[in-house]
Amino acid sequence: MSEATAELIQLAIKEDLDGGEDITSNSTIPSDHTSVADYVTRSAGVISGLDVAIQVLHYLGISDVKAHVRDGDEVPARTLILSARGSTRKLLLAERTSLNFLTHLSGIATLTRSWVRAIEGTSCKIRDTRKTTPGWRALEKAAVRDGGGANHRLSLSDAALVKDNHIVAAGGVLKAFELVRVAHPGKEIEVEVDTLEQLEEVLPGNPDLILLDNMTPSQCSEAVARVAGRVKLEASGGITLDSALEYAKSGVDYLAIGALTHSAKALDIGLDLKMGN
Question: Catalytic one among 131, 153, 226, 232?
Answer: 131
213 flagged as catalytic:
yes
In whole angstroms, give the CA distance from residue 121 to residue 253: 13
Packing angle between helix 88-118 and helix 3-17, nearest 10 degrees?
Answer: 130
- C-beta separation of 45 from 75 below 8 A: yes
Other CB atoms closer than 10 Å to residue 76's CB: what's the count? 9
234 flagged as catalytic:
no
Pairing of strands 125-127, 34-41: unpaired
Question: Catalytic one among 71, 128, 140, 213?
Answer: 213
10 Å CB burial of residue 100 (0-12, 13-18, 19+) is middle
192 flagged as catalytic:
yes
Question: Catalytic one among 130, 145, 153, 163?
Answer: 163
- C-beta separation of 86 from 61 below 8 A: yes
249 flagged as catalytic:
no
Question: Catalytic one among 22, 38, 96, 164?
Answer: 96
Question: Catalytic one among 71, 95, 140, 192?
Answer: 192
274 flagged as catalytic:
no
In whole angstroms, give the CA distance from residue 111 to residue 153: 20
Single out the residue of 271, 251, 254 nearest to residue 65, CA to CA. Answer: 271
Pairing of strands 125-127, 254-256: parallel
Contacts made by residues 62-71, CB under 8 angstroms, sequence distance 24+: 62/86, 62/87, 62/90, 62/91, 62/94, 71/47, 71/109, 71/142, 71/146
In whole angstroms, give the CA distance from residue 49 to residue 42: 16
As annotated, the active-site residues are 96, 131, 163, 192, 213
